[in-house]
Amino acid sequence: MTEQNFIPDASNARAFRDALGCFATGVTIVTIAGEHTPMGFTANSFASLSMEPPLVLWSPAKRSSRFTHFAGARHFAIHVLTAAQGDLIPRFIRGGPGFEGISYHHNAEGVPLIAGALARFDCVQHATHDGGDHLIIVGRVLRCVRNAGAPLVFTQGKYGQFSASE
């Protein structure tokens, strides 16, 4: 195994990104009501933050065409995808059809909800913090839902399924 040492800077941004990609994450879709239409955002920048009060965070890229909508949303829902929901990912990335052609319902705050997620966190925006080229959005969890199933996992540029070791 060859170890690569480097100081992250603009000249090796790809190597830095590849190193970050070694950390496996789950995959989420964050949804908001939007001004005129429901909106979604595929994100793997989701983390738990606090148990008391119940806080989670996610981080949209500032260069995203939907950034302003998500940064300013008072309420949002974070859907943790199951291994069988990989087909939703391209719907909610740049140029994807979003909610067009799929069924959804709304929570009490009017946020669109996608059925069948492994877990869902209905949130109210608690705080935001600058995070370089991203914004860190902290949500206070109003309610959460958990379903049975296996998580969709993202690592090293690929989606897959978690396999537990004994």
Angle at CA of residue 127, ends 74 and 134, nearest 5°: 95
Please write the tens of the pLDDT for every residue from 75-91. 999 999 999 999 999 99
Is the pLDDT higher at 9 or at 66?
66
Predicted confidence band of residue 35 (pLDDT cuts 50, 70, 90): confident
Report the C-alpha gap between 52 and 30 in whole angstroms: 22
d(CA 46, CA 60): 10
pLDDT at residue number 1: 65
**Burial class for 81, CB neighbours closer than 10 Å (0-12, 13-18, 19+):** buried
pLDDT digits (tens, 9 = 90+) for 113-135: 999 999 999 999 999 999 999 99
CB–CB of 26/44 below 8 Å? yes
| Tokens found for residue 64 | 């995203």
Mean pLDDT of 94-119: 95
Which pLDDT does position 78 carry in this prediction? 98
Pick 24-155's CATH classification: 3.40.30.10, 3.20.20.140, 2.30.110.10, 1.10.10.60: 2.30.110.10
Q: Tell me, what's the pLDDT at 143?
A: 97
Q: 68 Cβ partners below 8 Å, 6+ apart?
A: none
135-154 average pLDDT score? 96
Instruction: Give the pLDDT confidence score for residue 41 in this predicted structure.
Output: 94
Residue 70 confidence (pLDDT)? 97
